[in-house]
Amino acid sequence: MPKPDSLQGSLDLLVLKILSRRPRLHGYAIMTAIQQMSGDVLRAEEGSLYPALHRMEEAGWVRAQWIVKDTGRRARLYELTPAGKQQLASEESRWQAVTAAVNRVLRTA
């Protein structure tokens, strides 16, 4: 197994959060959602997004489904599983704890 890169934790969190708001998105939509919601500050690279999605799928946090779009092309839609919801909650609280800690350091130092 390749080592998880340092951004992976936050990428997972963003993907899970987006899927919790808007179920059944394909990869491109998730990518644009991250971009729009962050006001163009954050960009998920395709090269990281898909392996992350597939990893989360194997971990059972998201599930995927092939659908046929109006154009006749197939697309793979992702949605959150109950396990994913739990994961999101714990990731979110961890993120809060980390950012709170970082903020404390920034304030007091």
Partner 1 sequence: MSLWSRIANVLRSDRLSREIDEEMQAHIEEAVEQGRDPAEVRRAFGPALRLREESRDARLIVWLDSLRADAIFGWRQLMKNKVASAAAILSLALGIGACTSAFRLIDALLLRPLPVAEPQQLYALVRQGVDPEGRFGTFDGWAYPDFMLMRAAAGGQADLIAVSYSERADLTYRSDEEMEKAYVQYVSGGMFSSFGLRPAAGRLLAEDDDRTPHAHPDAVLSYDYWEHRFGGDRKVIGRTFRMGNDLYEIVGVGPERFTGTEPGTMIDVFLPTMMHPGVTRPDWTWMRTLARVKPGVAFEPLRAKLDATSRAFEQDRAKGFHGMSQKDIDEFLNHPLLFEPAAGGESDMQSAYRTSLLALGVLVALVLLITCANVANLMTAQASARAREMALRVSIGAGRGRLVQLVLVESAWLALLAGAAGGLFAWWSAPVAVSMINLPANPARLFLPADWRVLGFGLALTVAVTLLFGLAPALRASAVQPVSALKGGEDPHARRRLMHALIAVQTAFCFLVLFVAGLFVATFHRLSGRPTGFSADRVLTLETVARRPQQPVYWDQVTEHLRELPGVESAALASTTLMGGWSWNNSVSVNGAPPNGVLGYFMSVSPGWLATMRIPLIDGRDFRPGDTYPGSALVNETFAKAYFKGANPVGKSFDMVFDQGRTAHFEVVGLVGDACYRDVHEPTLPQAYYPFTALDRKGVLQVKAMDRGMFMVRTSLANPLALAATLRREVPRAWPEFRVSNVRTQLEINQSHTVRERLLARLAFFFGIVALVLAGFGLYGVLDYSVLQRRREVAIRMALGAHAGHVARRVTADVFAMVIAGALAGLALGFASVRYIESLLYEVKPTDPQMLALPSLIILAAALVAALPPVIRTVGIDPATMLRAE
Residues in the site for partner 1, rule: CB under 8 A?
1-2, 26-29, 32, 45-47, 50-51, 54-55, 57-60, 73-76
41 vs 58, beta carbon nearer partner 1? 58
Nearest to 47 by CA among 92, 95, 94, 2: 2
Shortest CB 91 distance to partner 1, Å? 18
In this complex, which beta carbon is closest to partner 1, that of residue 17 or of residue 76? 76
Least separation, in Å, of the C-beta of 46 and partner 1?
5
Rounded Cα distance between 6 and 26, Å, is 24
Q: Decide whether 73 or 107 has the Cβ nearer to partner 1.
A: 73
> Hey, which bits of 39-102 come out as E strands?
62-68, 74-80
Shortest CB 96 distance to partner 1, Å: 27
Asked whether 14 and 34 are in contact (CB, 8 A), the reply is yes
* CA of residue 54 relative to chain centroid, distance: 11
